Amino acid sequence: MNPPKSEGRYQKAEVRRSEIGDRLLSFAVDVVRFSWRLERTPTSRYLANQLMRAATSTGANYREACSAESRADFVHKLQLVLKETREAEYGLQLLSCSDFVTEGALEPLLGEVDQLIRILVKSVVTAKSKA
């Protein structure tokens, strides 16, 4: 017997949530590892710490969103994830434009953060439309 369609959609949504959560965790780990490879100057340490705070908060905030008490709470928390992800993107761009990293060193992280932002924007739009 086939499961009801709504149950199948629920399972797909859970898989997507898990995948997004996994990607946010991997992104945060990659940022932390990259940050520790930076030259140890006061300015680079400041930028790295700010970047790590933004990048590591994305996954934690996403987990909070997945445990939201209502659709409105979910949308609000998901928007916080998006804001933190955009802040991490800005930090990466700032480092990329500075002399702290070699040209192209941040391309993988910049590519991933761009994809995450696109996913999160669509998730916010979808969640709002279902509210």
For the stretch 97-102, contacts whose Cβ atoms lie closer than 8 Å and that sit 24 or more positions apart, written own/partner, are 98/47, 100/38, 100/39, 100/41, 100/43, 100/44, 100/47, 101/38
Q: What does the pLDDT average to over 50-67?
A: 96
Q: Report which of residues 29 and 1 the model is more confident about.
A: 29
**Entry pTM:** 0.85
Q: Is residue 4 scored above 50 in pLDDT?
A: no
Task: Enumerate domains of the chain plus CATH numbers.
Answer: 5-130 (1.20.1440.60)
Q: Which of 7-16, 32-41, 113-122 has the highest mean pLDDT?
A: 113-122
Separation between Cα atoms, residue 51 and residue 97, nearest integer Å: 14
Distance CA(122)–CA(5), nearest Å, equals 23
